[in-house]
Structure 1
Amino acid sequence: MSLQRYEADLRRLMAGFPTGVSVVTALAPDGTPWGMTCTSLCSVALDPPTLLVCLRAGSPTLRAALDSGSLSVNLLHQRARSTSELFGSGAADRFDQVPWVPAQNGGPHLIEAAHTIADCTVTAEQTVGDHAVVMARVTLVTSLCRPIPLLYGMRRYGSWAEDAENGFLSYDFIS
């Protein structure tokens, strides 16, 4: 099987695995804000509280996180699809298009797009293929609004559908 075939198979596999959407942000040592949409995020440990994010190798966001030693994970709410698309586009002026505030110990906080933000200290990094796996110790979690997350799967965005009797039970994907 060719490498291209494996790439297509992996893309199809992961498209069938719906996940939440985040924007990982970092401030470069010169104060320049960087950020990118990220669905490769998971909890690693509760003690110490540690997250794992996968960022594209060579990206300015990765460089800023490694150089500054910190990053923030902005978990996007259901109305933040445009922010996800903006930070996935590579637009140079993305921080001019969304409200944000600097964090004391992390990257920019996307105050209108995120429902919850984790400020983190980078503890380890390992390059794997065309991405870097970054371990980050959580130092502060800030909740901004009721957490109704933006989801991505099957190459579409979606959100939780609220069931009045039981709370959040299902999700709906929208084109």
Structure 2
Amino acid sequence: MDAEFREMMASFPTGVSVVTARDGGSAPWGMTCSSLCSLSVDPPTLLTCLRTESPTLRAVLASGAFAVNLLHGEADWVAALFASGAPDRFDKVAWRPAGHTRSPALIEAAHAVAECTVARTHPSGDHVIVVGRVRAVERFGRFERESALLYGFRRYGEWSPGVPAAAGDFRVREREG
């Protein structure tokens, strides 16, 4: 059943984010995450699901805050880096502490960052659902065109809303994820 469930979920394309936080000693932590959804507009709330054993989850819980970095379409290498667990990942990307929560904002890889405080948590299986109250949103406009990184069928893709539908508005990257 596990393999069938994984295959089914791999066939469901979704956006890609990196959830970041700082622990009590202010060390940055982060992980690639595709389990993200908006929950409420009033108040602005989202939820994300983080692996129970994740150091990023420990940092989120210790600090009571986190950032959700929505990756732009050319940041597939950042998604792969933060999925790898490499201990030096923050040395390889440009980031700065976000204004309100001080959680790491990936300023060159993200097209938008939501700063959140932890409202609630719910354990579920081998993950913890983290409900976050959005305190601030920052958009980055350094790119020639807006795009979003997607992942599905074990490949990264890019969605660019500015491309006419007749030309195709989804491009699949050749690189396997």
Q: TM-score, normalised by structure 2?
A: 0.90
Residue number in structure 1 paired with 2:126: 130
Listed one character per residue, the Cα deviations across residues 7-57 of structure 1 (whole Å, up to 9, x for unaligned) are: 111111111110110000001111100000000000011111110000010
Say whether 1:10 aligns with 2:5: yes
Matched, 1:39 2:38: no
The separation in 2 between residues aligned to 1:64 and 1:42, in whole angstroms, is 21
What 5-or-longer segments of structure 2 have no aligned partner? none
Instruction: Find runs of 4+ consecutive structure 1 residues off by over 4 angstroms.
Output: 161-169
User: In 1, distance between residues paired with 2:169 and 2:133?
Assistant: 31
Letter in 2 for 1:124: R
- The answer for the alignment partner of 1:171 in structure 2 is 170
Instruction: Note the C-alpha offset of 1:126.
Output: 1.1
**Is contact 2:13–2:150 with CA below 8 Å preserved after alignment?**
yes
Give the letter for the 1:156 counterpart: R
Q: Aligned pair in 2 of structure 1 residues 163, 65: CA closer, same or farther (>3 Å)?
A: closer
Q: Which residue of 1 is the match for residue 156 of structure 2?
A: 157
Specify the code of the residue in structure 2 equivalent to 1:158: G
Aligned residue number for residue 111 of structure 2 = 115
* Alignment-derived partner of residue 79 in structure 1: 74
User: What is the RMSD computed on CA atoms of the aligned residues?
Assistant: 1.8
Q: Distance in 1 between matches of 2:170 and 2:18?
A: 21
- 2:86 corresponds to which of 88, 91, 99: 91
Change in 2 beyond 3 A, CA 1:32/1:46: same
SS state of the match for residue 105, structure 2? Answer: coil
C-alpha distance in 1 between matches for 2:67 and 2:121: 15
C-alpha displacement of 1:127: 1.1
Shift of 1:105: 2.5
Aligned to 1:55: 50
Closer/same/farther in 2, CA of residues 163 and 108 from structure 1, 3 Å limit: closer
Would you say 1:140 and 2:136 are equivalent positions? yes
**Cα separation, partners in 2 of 1:64 and 1:150, compared to 1, 3 Å:** same
Identity %: 52
Q: Report deviation, 1:68.
A: 0.4
1:170 Cα deviation after fit:
2.9
AA aligned opposite 1:172: R
Which has the higher mean CA deviation after the structures are superposed, 98-107 or 155-164? 155-164
What secondary structure sits across from 1:31 in the alignment?
A: coil
Aligned equivalents of 1:10 and 1:133: distance in 2? 19
Alpha carbons 2:147, 2:161 under 8 Å: kept:
no
